[in-house]
Amino acid sequence: MRLILMGPPGAGKGTQARYVAARFGVPAISTGDIFRVNVSQGTELGVEAKRYMDAGEYVPDEITNKMVRNRIDEPDAAPGFLLDGYPRTLAQVEELDGMIKFTGHALDAVVVLTVDRDELVQRLLQRAKTEGRADDTEEVIRRRQEVYAEQTAPLLDVYAERGKLVEVDGMGEVGQVTSRVFAALEAASGATAG
Ligand code: ADP
């Protein structure tokens, strides 16, 4: 199973990624989490990435692509993976296409979580209180939303044209959203098989 989980900042990708990945027995690979681990450990990658993350900007494709390539090459990702937070640019889409093609597999589906704008802001401000992420300030949140709209939202059209996009309502309780994701993926794979 090779899945991508998409959605704007605050849509609940990280939360859902864990459940969905567990269900399919594949690792959840979150680029945001990998960057944050590197930042906290003060690695070279972390020092470089932090400059962009703190400003709400994307880390350059070259750095991000290389990091994902290395992660996907690890043995636990051989049976498949769920990507959370990647790809986010058209260049990353192309890079990922190459990575998957190289292994002789195909992308199964791209799940996008849709959430109202007001709810997104509320969730991020709440997370700012509980997790204290450096990029969860009001100003940086606004910038992250702009960058998502400019650079990442267009990817939805790309995957829709390929017939891979699965839209899921991300409003409501975590468990409800998880059930919707499972149901939508089942329906999508049934549609492909039949
Ligand atoms: P969010 O909840 O805002 O979607 P993430 O935790 O997924 O945030 O990512 C945090 C930050 O890490 C992003 O704002 C960006 O700077 C960097 N990042 C994560 N994934 C990517 C990517 N695919 N390309 C470039 N930068 C990325």
Q: How far lies 95's CA from each of 13, 37, 38, 55, 107, in Å? A: 21, 23, 22, 25, 13
Residue 83 CA to residue 28 CA, distance in Å, equals: 6
8 in ligand 1 pocket by Cβ < 6 Å? Answer: no
Active-site residue 66, yes or no?
Answer: no
- 18, 23, 69, 127: which is the annotated catalytic residue? 127
pTM, 2 dp: 0.93
Half-sphere exposure at residue 68, Cβ-oriented, CA atoms within 13 angstroms: 30
Counting residues of the chain whose pLDDT is more than 70, the rounded percentage is 98
**Which candidate in 2, 71, 144, 164 is catalytic?**
144
135-152: average pLDDT: 92
Q: How far is the CA of 79 from the centre of ligand 1 (A)?
A: 25
The Cβ-side half-sphere exposure at 176, using a 13 Å CA radius, reads: 5
115: left (phi over 0), alpha (psi -120 to 50) or beta: beta
Annotated active-site residue 143? The verdict is no
164 noted as active-site residue: no
Question: Which residues sit opposite 167 in a β-bridge?
Answer: 112
Residue 67, classed as helix, strand or coil, is helix
133 in active site: yes
86-113 confidence digits (pLDDT tens)? 999 999 999 999 999 999 999 999 999 9
64: helix, strand or coil: helix
- CA geometry: angle 84, 111, 27, nearest 5 deg: 40
Q: Quick one: average pLDDT of 11-36?
A: 96
End-to-end CA distance of the chain: 18
Please give the distance, rounded to the nearest whole angstrom, from the Cα atom of residue 176 to the centre of ligand 1: 25
Among this protein's residues, is 50 annotated catalytic?
A: no
**Is a pLDDT exceeding 90 seen at residue 190?**
no
Question: Band of the pLDDT at 192, cuts 50, 70, 90?
Answer: low
Six-digit token pair at 141?
Answer: 């949140």
Determine the average pLDDT of the residues in 159-187. 97
Ligand 1 centroid to Cα of residue 52, in Å, is: 9
Q: Closest Cα to residue 50, out of 67, 32, 66, 62?
A: 32
